[in-house]
Amino acid sequence: MTTTGTYTDAYTVLDIRHVLSRFNANLRAIAQVTTCMSEEKVQDFVHDLQILAEYEYLVGVDLILVDVSGQKVRARAYAVSTEAWDWSVDLPGANLWPRTPAGSLDVVVTHSKSWTSLSAPQRAEFRARNEFKISWVPTEARPDTLQSDSRSGPQICQERLWARAQRLPVSTVSAGGETVDLFELRQALPDGSFTAREHDLVGFAARYERLKRHLRLLVDSEGIAQWSQRHYRVSVVICRLLGDRYPLNIFEGDVGTGKTVTAESIANRLAREDGAETQLYKLSTRVRRAGRVGQMSTLINQAFDVVARSAGQSRRTVLIIDEADSLAATRAQEHSHHEDKVAVNTLIQKIDDARRFTGRVLVFLCTNRFRTLDPAIARRAALIEPFRRPNDDERAELFQHDLADLGLTERELAELVNVTGPSGDRPGWTYSDPRTRLYPEVIARVFLMGRLAARTFLLSRVSFFHPRVWTTCE
């Protein structure tokens, strides 16, 4: 189950786990101090939410205090974790919400995809069979725009039906008063969209075939042991030593050379070939930007705790840390802050700890400043893979793939390869440059005027990008 995230600055979700009984106690305290909900109504809410949680239909619950004028006074988010009874809840400030005469305490539920896939009759039957106490009113409103209903007062309950489970943050925490999403992506693998994307990565197949031999040594400890027994009838020393390696892989190279997307695609391909249940997490870059004194190391700890819980006893979990140099810069730098050093120490400890999962956890660090990484982290890498800007052959393959249906001649393709190559002190284009800058520029010039005419491609100037790019229309 994927948890909801925080939607406004008023929502503070701290990664402290509580069972439903704690939610019951919090709701009761808030209801009493605000005078906006009776004890009986609190029990009715808890009854319904407990049933939804037991059937894994519950993703999160928002409490919203609205005053008599319809203004939101206070809000709190409760997010269900991958454990149905494991809740993350905001505790700072306790339950000392203001007394709000004639106000309302709205309870907004976010359902899982399993619930939203049910038909309306199936939902109605489920509510009736389980004797729901609350008459839930569907709404598409977000918590930060909810208004109280003066006709129903504190009795109103609203249900949020958003099908956004795969892209919502897995966990949110409070860092010095600022809400931080630990992960910008959580994805179950294998995934069809990731598989389709492999075909757009120039050179991915060859790179994967080369790297998977090394990655197998990290994820298939049982296979290594079986190989040793089959050929030597004992666990040979060299195989046992493999278990001491760290499940860390570093992808380093220029921006736009495909490090992160390759890491995602490799994780997906491994899951597809092995038939292994895999969960992919991508650490949010906000973890670094939001880190304050004493906070950044806490956020790293919490992120790895989520990964550890996901790995469990059998599931494979992949963590991708993009812009890793912002988290793992060398501690020897003169301007390095104490908190930065503590964060690097924490990251090292967590990487060390990941070995206990014997291949069920893989970590990919992607960086375009490899030389700034702390040496202790670089030494722990089982694999360091360089990503370089494409050469002429690789750019030719890229353009042939992307522009195949435009009918460019070999001469036109060769000219395009030439103008995008290195010249003097200027480096050649990266893999992403044509797709993120050249192609949009070409289409923007012609899509309101006519179709692209490959045979009459003209060279034009785009000062912000390159002296010459191709563009024409009929």
- The answer to whether residues 355 and 340 belong to one domain is yes
Which of 387, 411, 436 is a domain's end point?
A: 387
Of the residues 352, 368, 387, which one is the last residue of a structural domain? 387
What pLDDT does 83 receive?
39
- Residue 141 has what pLDDT? 43
Is the bond into 440 cis (omega within 30 degrees of 0)? no
Q: Are residues 227 and 310 in the same domain?
A: yes
Do 260 and 357 share a domain, yes or no? yes
Same domain? For 234 and 376 the reply is: yes
| Last residue of one domain, picked from the residues 168, 194, 216 | 168
Does a structural domain hold residue 33? yes
Provide the Cα torsion 12, 26, 63, 295; round to 10°. 10
Alpha-carbon distance 391 to 421, whole Å?
8
β-strand partners of 183: 283
Quick one: 137 and 188 in the same domain? no
Contacts 24+ apart (CB under 8 A), 140-146: 142/7, 143/7, 143/8, 143/11, 143/62, 143/64, 143/72, 143/75, 143/77, 143/108, 144/7, 144/8, 144/10, 144/72, 144/75, 146/64, 146/66, 146/72, 146/106, 146/108
pLDDT score at 301 = 86
* pLDDT attached to residue 288: 63
Q: How many domains does the chain have?
A: 3
Residue 175 lies in a domain: no
Answer whether residue 433 is part of any domain: yes
pLDDT score, position 382: 96
Note whether 381 and 396 are same-domain residues. no
**Any domain includes 11:** no
| pTM across the whole model | 0.62
pLDDT for 180 equals: 56
**Domain match, 342 and 300 both:** yes
pLDDT of residue 333: 67
Exposed, middle or buried by CB within 10 Å (0-12, 13-18, 19+), for 301? middle
In a domain, 48, yes or no: yes
CATH number of the CATH domain containing 251: 3.40.50.300
Mean pLDDT by 10 residues, the chain (474 residues): 30 36 74 82 84 78 76 72 42 57 80 83 87 75 36 31 30 49 86 91 95 93 91 92 93 95 96 92 73 68 87 85 87 69 90 92 95 94 96 94 86 87 89 86 71 46 41 42
Assess whether 193 and 315 both reside in one domain: yes
Q: Could you tell me if 374 and 422 are in contact, meaning their C-beta atoms sit under 8 angstroms apart?
A: no
The string over 3-27, giving b where at least 16 C-beta atoms fall within 10 Å of a residue's C-beta and e elsewhere, is bbbbbeebbbbbbeebebeebbebb
Closest alpha carbon to 109 in 153, 78, 71: 78
Q: Is 253 a member of any domain?
A: yes
